[in-house]
Chains A and B, each alone.
Chain A
Amino acid sequence: MADNAYEDATSQLWEVEGLFARDVDGQLIRVVSATEKDYAKDVTLTIDGQSVTVKKAVPTTDSQGNVVIDQEGKTIPRSTTIYDAAAKLFVKKPGDVNPIPVLCHQEHMNPAGVCRICVVEVFRTTGGKRRSGGKLLPSCAHRAEPDMEVHTLESTNEEARKRVQRSVKVLTELLASDHLRPKQDGAPGRDKDTPNELESLVQRVGANPTRFTSHSPVDRGRDNSSTLISVDHNSCILCNRCIRACDEIKKNFVIGRAGKGYTAKIAFDLNDPMEDSSCVSCGECMVSCPTDALTFRRPVVSDWWRDLVEKPEYTAISPQELRQHPLFAGVPYKFLQWNSASVVRRKTKKGDVLCRQGDYGATAFILNAGEFGVYIGTPRKTADEGPVGFFGRLFGRGTKPASGDTADYGTQVSTRTPEHLILGEMTCMSDHPRTATVVAMGDGEVLEIRRNVLYVLQRNPAARAMLDRVYRERALQDHLRTISFFQDLTKEERHECVEFLRDKVTLLRVDPGQNIFRQGEAVIQNDEFVGHFYMIRLGYVKVTQTLHGTERVLDYIGPNRHFGEIALLSKIPNLIDQHVPESLVARRTATCTALDDVELVRIRGEHFSELILRFEKLRNKFVQICKNHLDQNKPVNREMGLPMAGFLDQGLFNAQTLLVMDLESCTRCDECTRACSDTHGGIVRLIREGQRIDKFLVASSCRSCQDPYCLVGCPVDSIHRKGSLEIVIDDHCIGCGQCAKNCPYGNINMHGFDVIREYPPDSGCQRPVIQQKATTCDLCRQVVGANSEVSCVYSCPHNAAFRMSGSELLKIVSGKADLHADKSTRQLLSHPV
C-alpha cells in the first residue's frame, strides 16, 4: 500500500511535500521527527556551490539558545534545516548576511513556514542523475539532507538563481502591495528613514511594491487601545511571529488568529481590544513584528540613562548609529528604538574605572576604541564597610574614595582592546559580582549596554556563539586563578598546576534537576575514562546516597567546591582504595544532582589522574579529603536529615537574605508588615506567611538569591541588583509581570499604581488608570541606605525577625549555631547584610 500510494503525477508532486503535513491552522508542519541518533550523523550538502557539513539533528533550544529538556530530562532533537546550514556556512560573525532572506522566520523561533520568502532551489543526485526537486522548498523548515545541492538568491547557477529570485520577488511584491503603508512623520516606532524588514526585503530583491496595485478589499482596522503598543492590522502580513513570540518565548498565550481570508488578522484573547485583553504589554510581539503592524508608542527611558547622559563623559546614542555597529546587526531595529535608552556611549580617559571587582553590575561594555587594563585584587566590600551615619561621616568612615592609583585595584592580569569586543558581560550573564576591576589605560570609547540588550544580542546565533566563547574563556581563566585546593601549594607549584590545566578544562552548564552522575556508575569503561572530576563555578549541587532503597542527602555543595574525586582516586592503587568497598572501586559512591543552574569546570578523568600523580602535595590533600568524606558518610548523618530535604526543595540554599521569624518570640503583632508598608509608601513587600522550618517561619519576602531567576528576561531591564545584594525594580517597569512569573518563591508582586494618563491613547483625554508595576523587597536600601537595618527587622519589638542566609538558617536549625547565644551568628544577624 505504501509503495504505490503516490501513483498519479499530482500525488508525486505532493510527495515532495510529503515530509510535511498541515496542522489545524492549515500550516505546514514537519512530520518526520529527528532522533537522538541523528546528533552523531553528519550531513554534507552544497549551498551556492560551497560545501558544508552539519549534524543531521541538533537539540532544540529556547530563544536564548539554552537546550530544552523534556520531562524525562532528555534533549529534544530537531532536524537541521537548510537555513541552518546556510547560516553555518555564510554567517561567521555578527553582521554577516545569510543569502537566504527570511520574513516569517527568526532564528530564535520555531519555523512556521508561512511566507515562503526563504525558498531555495534544490537539486538531488539520484541514480547518478542530477535532478531538480520540481518545486522550490522553504529552507527555514526543510531539513538538510545528504548531497543536496541548494541554490539561493545569490547562487552562481543563473537558472536556479533566477527562478528563486522570481519567486521571492513576486511574493514580496504581493505582500508589499497589500501591507506596505505610507509612514507617518514623527510617529514613534515608524522611523521614516529606516525601512522595516518588509521594506528592506523589497529593496534587497528589487521588488516593485506597486506592481500589484490592488490593496485588500477589507479594512482590517487599527487597535489603539493599548498605551504601549499600537496595532495596525492592515500592515500585518500574518507571519505569526507575534503569535510565536507571545506563546513560545514569553509563554503568555494571548495572541492568536481570528477571521478568514481577507478578514484574517491577529487577535488578542477572543478578539478583544488589546488593552482589555489579558495582554501584559511585554512588547515581545512588537519587537518580533517585521512590519509596522505592531509598533510602540513611546520609547522606554530609565533613570539610569537620564542620570548618565547629564554627565559630560556620557552621550546618548541613536538607534540608527547602533544599527551600524556589526554586533547589533541581528538585533531588531524596533528593539533598538524602543530601548535606545539602554545603551550609552562613554568616552574614557586614562584612569577611568569602568567597573569594580565585587560590585553587582547590570551593564556590560562594548569596546569601541582604546585600551583597558583588567585588574584583580581583594574584592572591594560594597555595603559591609560599617555604618556611616552622622558620626561615621564626621570621622570619615564609610566608603573609601578611590585614590586613582591603579595599585588600589590589585594586579593587572590582562589588557583588552576593541578586538576583544566586550567586557563586563560575565556579571550580566551570571548575575554574580564583577570578578575584576577594569580601568581605562588611555583615551577610549565604550558602549555601556544593559542586560536586556545583551539578552537580545544572545538571540542571534552568531553573536551568541561569540559571547559564549568569550564567556567560557574568561570564566575558565577566572576559575583557574581561584581553585580552592591549590591554596596550600607554593606560588610556583600553583603556577605549574594552572599551566598544566589551562587547556584541559571545560566549562559545562547543567540544568536544575539534571544528574551529573549517578551512584554506582563506573568511571572507566574499556580502559577509557568516562567519569571526570568537577569543580563548581556557579550554583549548587546536591550529593545523595541511596542505602537500602532510601535516598538520603549527604550534603549540598556550592561555588569553589569540587566533587567526583573519590571514584577517580579509588582507581589508583594504594591511595584510598582500602577505604572504599571493593564493589565501589572506580565507581561513583554518590549521586550528584544540580539544584539550580550550575556551571561546572570539568577536568577529564585521565588529566585529573595525571595531575594527582604529578603533584605530591595535591595528591596528599585529595587523599585526606576523600578519607574525610568517606568517614563522614559512614554513619547516617542526622544533621542532614529532615531540615535538609525541605531546605533544598524550597531553594533556601540559594538565599542570601531570608526574612526569618522566630515563632517562639513572635507575637504576630505584624509590626514588621506595617513597617514595611510605612517605609515603602503603603506598598508592603513582605507577607508574614511561608515555609516553616523547625520554630522558624521563612516569610515571603525577597531572598536576594545568589542566582536570581527574576532578573532573566526583563524586556526593559528595570529589575537588577544595585551595587549590593538587593534586587531593585526601577520606576520604568512596564508591568509585564515577567519577573513575578520567574520568581519561584512568589516574592515579587504586581501592584497597581494610580496614575493620570492620556486614555484612550491619542484621544487628548486625561483620566486615571491603574499602571501595574512589579514590587519586591529592596532591603530598604533605596529608603534608608545601605548601612541601615532593614525596616522589618528594625521595627520588630520582640526580637523575632532576622535576616540571614539559607546556610545560616540551616546551621541554626541543625544546632550548629545558636540564634541568640552564638556571638558570631548574632553579629551576623544584627548587622545589615
Chain B
Amino acid sequence: MLILRKHFAMHRKWFATFLAGTAAAVFGYFFWAHQYSTRWPGGSSPPGLILGILGGAIIVFECLLWPRRMLRSWRWGSARLWMKAHIWFGLLTVPLILLHSGFVWGGWLSTILAALFAMVIASGIFGLVMQQILPRKMLTDTPLETIYSQIENAMRMAIADAQSLVLATCGLPKESAAASVQSQPIETPDDRNADRVVIGASRQVELIPGQLLRTPVPQVPVANSEVLRQKFVSTIQPFLEGGLRLKSPLKDRRSSAEFFRQLRAVLDPEAHPVLEAIEDCCEQRRQFDLQTRLHWWLHSWLWIHLPLSMALLVLMFVHAYVALKYW
C-alpha cells in the first residue's frame, strides 16, 4: 500500500494515532520509571505488563489479517482499512514491545522472541518499501505486462504467431527443418468439455467487434528468406521459449536491436514487417521476464513474513504462559 507523497493524506489519521500511541506509551513508561523505580521497568512491572498485553493484542490482531484475506466474501470491513490498521498498529508494536522488554534481552525464550519480532517487523517494512517502488517500476518498465499466471500462455501464443509468420515469409521448410518449425498445437490445459455434452454457446471471441491489428504477411514466400528461418530456429525460438534463463543475444535490448538490424540488412524489405513483429515478440519476452523478477521481489517477502509471524504468535503465547507461570 502506498503511504508516501500524495497518498499520505489517507494515512494522516493513522500516523497521528501511531504517534499518539507511541507518545502515550513512552510518557507513561518513563513517568512510572521516574516515580516508582530505580531501573527500567521490565515486563513484569505494571507498565511493562500493560504494554506487553497491548503489544500482544496487537500482534494477535495483526495475524487476523490472514483469515480476513482468506474470507474475502465476508463483510468485515474493507481490506484497505485492515491493511492500514495492519501497517500502523504493526509499527506501534515496536515501541510497545521495546518498552515492555525493559531494554534487556532476558532469557533464551524472550531473546528468540525478540529476534523473531525484529525479523517480522523488518520483513514487513521491506515488503512495504517494495510496494512503494516496484509497482511504479512495473508501470514504466513493463508496459506489455500481463496477468502473472498467464505469462507462459501468452508467450505460447506469441510463439505460435511468430511461427506462422516465419512460415508465411519463408515458405514450407525443407525436410530437415520441417519438424522444428511446423506449428505445434496450442495446448488447452483444462479441456474438460472434451467428453461432455455442452449446451449453449461458448464465447466466440472472433465475433467481438473492434479493430484487429494484423501484421502484413507476404502473400507468397519472400525470396532468400531462409536465413530468417535459420535464425528463428537457432536463436529466436529458444529465446522466446526460455527467456532470460538462456544465454542469448536477445536477452539485452541493445544486442537484440543489433541482431535484428543485421537480419534486416540481409532480408528483402517485404519481410521487414514480419521481422518487426518477431522483434516485438522478443521485447514481450524480455518484459515478461522482468515482470516475473519484479513480481518475485514484490511478493516473495511474504514467504518470510508469514511463517515468522506465525512462529512469533506461537512463541508469544508460550512466552506469556511461561511468564505468568513463573511470575
Hey, which bits of chain A sit against chain B, CB under 8 A?
A: 227-228, 275, 280-281, 663-671, 674-675, 678-679, 687-689, 692, 695, 734-737, 740-741, 743-744, 746, 749-750, 752, 757, 759, 767-773, 783-784, 788-789, 791, 793-799, 818, 820-821
Q: Please name the 10 residue pairs, one residue from A and one from B, whose CB atoms are nearest each other, closest first.
A: A735-B200, A772-B200, A737-B201, A280-B201, A797-B83, A675-B72, A797-B79, A769-B197, A799-B80, A678-B73
Cα A796 to Cα B204 with chains together (Å): 31
* Set of chain A residues within 8 Å of B69, measured between Cβ atoms: 671, 795, 797
**B203:A740 contact, CB within 8 angstroms:** yes
Tell me the smallest distance from the CB of B127 to a CB of chain A, in Å.
9
B178 part of interface (Cβ distance < 8 Å)? no
**B147:A820 contact, CB within 8 angstroms:** no
**B203:A744 contact, CB within 8 angstroms:** no
Contact with A along B291-302 (1 / 0, CB 8 A): 000010011000
| Contact among A281, A670, A767 for B147, CB-based, below 8 A | A670
Q: Interface stretch among B22-30, B100-108, B131-139, B235-243?
A: B131-139
Cα A603 to Cα B135 with chains together (Å): 53
**B299:A667 contact, CB within 8 angstroms:** yes
| Contact among B9, B82, B136 for A797, CB-based, below 8 A | B82
Cα A668 to Cα B136 with chains together (Å): 12
B210 part of interface (Cβ distance < 8 Å)? yes
Cα A419 to Cα B202 with chains together (Å): 45
Check A665/B204 contact, CB under 8 A, given A679-B72, A770-B193.
Answer: no
Cα A744 to Cα B146 with chains together (Å): 21
Known interface pairs A674-B72, A744-B209; 9 further A-B residue pairs with C-beta atoms within 8 A, sorted by A's residue number: A281-B200, A668-B295, A671-B79, A675-B73, A736-B200, A740-B201, A793-B78, A799-B1, A820-B10
**B207:A741 contact, CB within 8 angstroms:** yes
B179 part of interface (Cβ distance < 8 Å)? no
11 contacts between A and B (CB under 8 A): A663-B138, A667-B134, A668-B148, A671-B79, A695-B139, A740-B201, A749-B203, A769-B196, A769-B197, A773-B200, A820-B7
Query: For window 51-89 of chain B, which residues contact chain A by CB distance below 8 Å?
Result: 69, 72-73, 75, 78-80, 82-83
Cα A773 to Cα B304 with chains together (Å): 42
**A821:B9 contact, CB within 8 angstroms:** yes
B6 part of interface (Cβ distance < 8 Å)? yes
Check A769/B203 contact, CB under 8 A, given A666-B135, A668-B298.
Answer: no
Cα A679 to Cα B72 with chains together (Å): 8
**A798:B2 contact, CB within 8 angstroms:** yes
Check A770/B198 contact, CB under 8 A, given A741-B204, A796-B79, A798-B2.
Answer: yes
Q: How many A-B residue pairs have CB under 8 A?
A: 144
Which of chain A's residues has its CB closest to B200's CB? A735
Most buried by B among A665, A736, A788: A665
Cα A744 to Cα B143 with chains together (Å): 24
| Contact among B9, B146, B193, B204 for A752, CB-based, below 8 A | B193
**A770:B199 contact, CB within 8 angstroms:** yes
Which of chain A's residues has its CB closest to B139's CB? A663
* Set of chain B residues within 8 Å of A667, measured between Cβ atoms: 131, 134-135, 298-299
**B73:A772 contact, CB within 8 angstroms:** no
**A759:B197 contact, CB within 8 angstroms:** yes
Cα A692 to Cα B199 with chains together (Å): 36
* Set of chain A residues within 8 Å of B147, measured between Cβ atoms: 668, 670, 687-689
Tell me the smallest distance from the CB of B103 to a CB of chain A, in Å.
34
Cα A99 to Cα B106 with chains together (Å): 105
* Set of chain A residues within 8 Å of B196, measured between Cβ atoms: 768-770
Check A746/B72 contact, CB under 8 A, given A663-B138, A667-B131, A799-B10.
Answer: no
**A750:B2 contact, CB within 8 angstroms:** no
Which of chain A's residues has its CB closest to B294's CB? A668
**A228:B83 contact, CB within 8 angstroms:** no
| Contact among B80, B134, B146 for A796, CB-based, below 8 A | B80
Which of chain A's residues has its CB closest to B211's CB? A649
Cα A664 to Cα B132 with chains together (Å): 8
| Contact among A665, A791, A820 for B73, CB-based, below 8 A | A791
Tell me the smallest distance from the CB of A710 to a CB of chain B, in Å.
12
* Set of chain A residues within 8 Å of B73, measured between Cβ atoms: 675, 678-679, 783, 791
Tell me the smallest distance from the CB of B234 to a CB of chain A, in Å.
33
* Set of chain B residues within 8 Å of A692, measured between Cβ atoms: 143
Which of chain B's residues has its CB closest to A818's CB? B6
* Set of chain A residues within 8 Å of B1, measured between Cβ atoms: 665, 797-799
Cα A770 to Cα B1 with chains together (Å): 41
**B298:A671 contact, CB within 8 angstroms:** no
Cα A791 to Cα B76 with chains together (Å): 12
**B135:A771 contact, CB within 8 angstroms:** no
B212 part of interface (Cβ distance < 8 Å)? no
Tell me the smallest distance from the CB of A685 to a CB of chain B, in Å.
13
Check A798/B83 contact, CB under 8 A, given A664-B135, A665-B1.
Answer: yes
Tell me the smallest distance from the CB of B255 to a CB of chain A, in Å.
28
Cα A770 to Cα B82 with chains together (Å): 40
B208 part of interface (Cβ distance < 8 Å)? yes
